[in-house]
Amino acid sequence: MNLKVDMPPMTADEFRRHTEKMLWELDRRSAFDWRGHYGTALNHRSFGEPRPRHMPNLGPDTVEIFGQDAFTFDAIKRHQLGQRAVAKDGRAFRYCLAGASTLVSGNVLQASLPVANHLALTPSAAGIGAVQVVATLGATAAALNLYAEGWVQIDTTPGNGFMYGIHGHAAVLSSGVITANLWPDEPIQVALTTSSRVGFIANPYSGVLQCPTTNTAAVIGVALAPITNAMYGWIQTWGPAAVLINGTPAITAPVVNSATTAGAADKWTTAAADVAVTLVGNMLQVGVSAKNNAVMVKLAA
């Protein structure tokens, strides 16, 4: 299944720059299939054709990229984590990296666990316009680019309430100093001091896991197809999906991540309000326990 990757509205000049950047990425990775216009697929790796330097019949609002089919997984990262894509029938998907275990089709999924020792840290002073945030981690190491495409949040004044995107960082030992390089277009807006406090938040689509019976992070999607651990692929976030069901929820009933069956959706009850649950969607049929049934998923449009 091919997916359409949404792009924000752009001026003609922004669209030209975006196209040039995308073509550079295509050359660098040499592994994309892309469509020069709707309905005509070009695979230059397969056919050995020279790459065109234009993309006819594409408007500035949407670019179709076919870096990776919706039902496959890949060791090569083809899109930005969290990239949104839509199928022709309106179902929505997000690009992700699977965590430590293979994702199972129809399972409800959550983000990776936040690292307590990487939150509420004292930063070095950083002026307005700086593109680095430096802080000493607690007693937990950070792998190379653990927070790439994630964020650094500022939770204490000065700078309270701001959140900046992270481009990347080196590996950091336990209790070591992390230097997070921000995206150039997201510099520090309010100067940080040693009175500020910062926390590092991974991209929720990095290290995606089966939702346990007591979820430990945000519920973010449903596995469209198996994705092997540490591989990249697409998960579904909106529209009809075959979801693992616990119990027998009625048609139209709201269902949440199950507190009794890992990876399942369960009927929302008053008792569920007292535990950490998230609305997954609404039943499109009467549920059959331990089966994958049709659910109108409503996690992220």
- Spans of all domains in the chain: 1-67, 68-112+207-301, 116-201
Lowest-confidence pick of 26-40, 59-73, 193-207, 235-249:
26-40
223 Cβ contact partners less than 8 Å away, ≥ 6 residues apart: 103, 104, 105, 106, 107, 109, 235, 236
- Beta bridge pairs of residue 299: none
| pLDDT, tens digit (0-9, with 9 covering 90-100), for 134-180 | 999 999 999 999 999 999 999 999 999 999 999 999 999 999 999 99
pLDDT in tens, 9-24: 666 666 666 655 555 5
Mean per-residue pLDDT, 98-111: 97
Average pLDDT, integer, range 176-189: 98
pLDDT in the model for residue 23: 54
Please tell me the predicted confidence (pLDDT) of residue 241: 98
Report if pTM > 0.75.
yes
Q: pLDDT exceeding 90 applies to what percent of the chain?
A: 70
Residue 38, pLDDT score: 29
Q: Which amino acid is at 246?
A: N
**What separation in angstroms does the CA of 98 have from each of 69, 103, 123, 139, 253?**
16, 7, 31, 25, 29
Report which residue type is found at 51.
R
| Cα of 92 vs its chain's centroid, Å | 12
Encoded tokens for 98? 């699977």
Instruction: List the one residue out of 234, 160, 233, 172 whose CA is nearest residue 198.
Output: 160
Q: Which residue has the higher pLDDT, 299 or 24?
A: 299
- CA 266, CA 290: separation in Å to the nearest integer? 11
Bigger pLDDT: 69 vs 238: 238
Confidence of residue 208 (pLDDT cuts 50, 70, 90): very high
Q: What pLDDT does residue 69 have?
A: 82
Band of pLDDT at residue 215, cut at 50, 70 and 90: confident
Local confidence band at 70 (pLDDT 50, 70, 90 cut-offs)? confident
Q: How confident is the model at residue 56 (pLDDT cuts 50, 70, 90)?
A: very low
Please give the helix or strand (H or E) that residue 26 lies within, else none.
Answer: helix 12-29
Q: How far are the Cα atoms of 76, 82, 97, 130, 220 from residue 73, in angstroms, in the given order? A: 9, 15, 9, 37, 18
Structure tokens at 145: 């680019």
Res. 80: pLDDT tops 60: yes
Residue (of 87, 69, 105, 115) closest to 221 by Cα position = 105
Helices (H) and strands (E) in the chain, counts: 2, 19
What is the per-residue pLDDT for 276? 76
Contacts of 160 (CB under 8 A, 6+ apart): 154, 196
- Between 254 and 46, whose confidence is greater? 254
Instruction: Write down the mean pLDDT value for the chain.
Output: 84
Identify the pLDDT of residue 166. 98
Write b or e for each residue in 233-267: b if 16 or more Cβ atoms lie within 10 A of its Cβ, otherwise e. bbbbbbbebbbbbbbebeeebbbbbbbebbbbbbb
pLDDT of residue 67: 64
Kindly report the number of other CB atoms within 10 A of residue 51's CB atom: 13
Contact at 8 Å (CB) between 95 and 4? no
* Omega cis (within 30) before 249: no
> Residue 140: its pLDDT value, please?
98
Under DSSP, is residue 175 helix (H, G, I), strand (E, B) or coil? coil
Summarised one tens digit per residue, pLDDT across range 225-281 is: 999 999 999 999 999 999 999 999 999 999 999 999 999 999 988 665 556 789 999
Question: 10 Å Cβ neighbour count for 47?
Answer: 7
